Amino acid sequence: MDLVLRAIVGFFFVLFITRVVGRRELSSLEPFDLILLVMLGDLVQQGITQNDFSVTGMMLVGGTVALLTVLVSYSSFKFPVMRPLLEGEPVIVVQDGEPLMRNLGRNRITLEELAAAARLQGIAQIADVRWAVLETSGNISFIEK
């Protein structure tokens, strides 16, 4: 039972960390970020399993994390009021060609990153954008004027 409780705490810790880090950082993983995520996974695993290297322990922890993943996903689907907490909400970062600096700052997106994302979608200037939305996935969607 100790392993199951540790898995529950570890799961919600990782969920919390990913919400704090922010969607933009997680959508564009640099090599260093990927290494940090692997390290985080290893550290959380050590805290969950301690010295238990048994197959039973592995199955308990894996099953608990899988069940919690399904429960969080189902909760987000079934209870819309929980969706912003679990998945976040889309954020408007450009409106009528004007970058919304407050929203960009909250999500730690520079004007250069915004312009680069626009160029990747074939948009030459931010002034040509009616709406730009930072989606919950961390990608930016652009709607031209």
pLDDT tens digits, 10-68? 888 888 887 777 665 556 666 766 777 777 788 778 778 777 777 777 788 888 888 88
What's the pLDDT at 114? 95
Parse the chain into domains and list their residue ranges.
2-87, 91-144
**What is this structure's pTM?**
0.65
Select the more confidently predicted residue: 86 or 28: 86
What's the pLDDT at 40? 77
What's the pLDDT at 50? 77
What's the pLDDT at 51? 77
Architecture of the domain spanning 91-144: 2-Layer Sandwich (3.30)
Do 27 and 135 form a contact (C-beta atoms < 8 A)?
no
- Reference 65, options 9, 121, 122, 140; nearest CA is 9
Q: Averaged over 70-83, what is the pLDDT?
A: 88
Provide the edge-to-edge strand list for the sheet that holds 98-99: 98-99, 91-95, 129-134, 140-144
- Band the pLDDT of 137: cuts 50, 70, 90: confident
pLDDT tens digits, 88-113? 889 999 999 999 999 999 988 999 99
What's the pLDDT at 1? 75
- In angstroms, rounded to a whole number, what is the distance separating the alpha carbons of residues 82 and 7? 22
What's the pLDDT at 28? 61
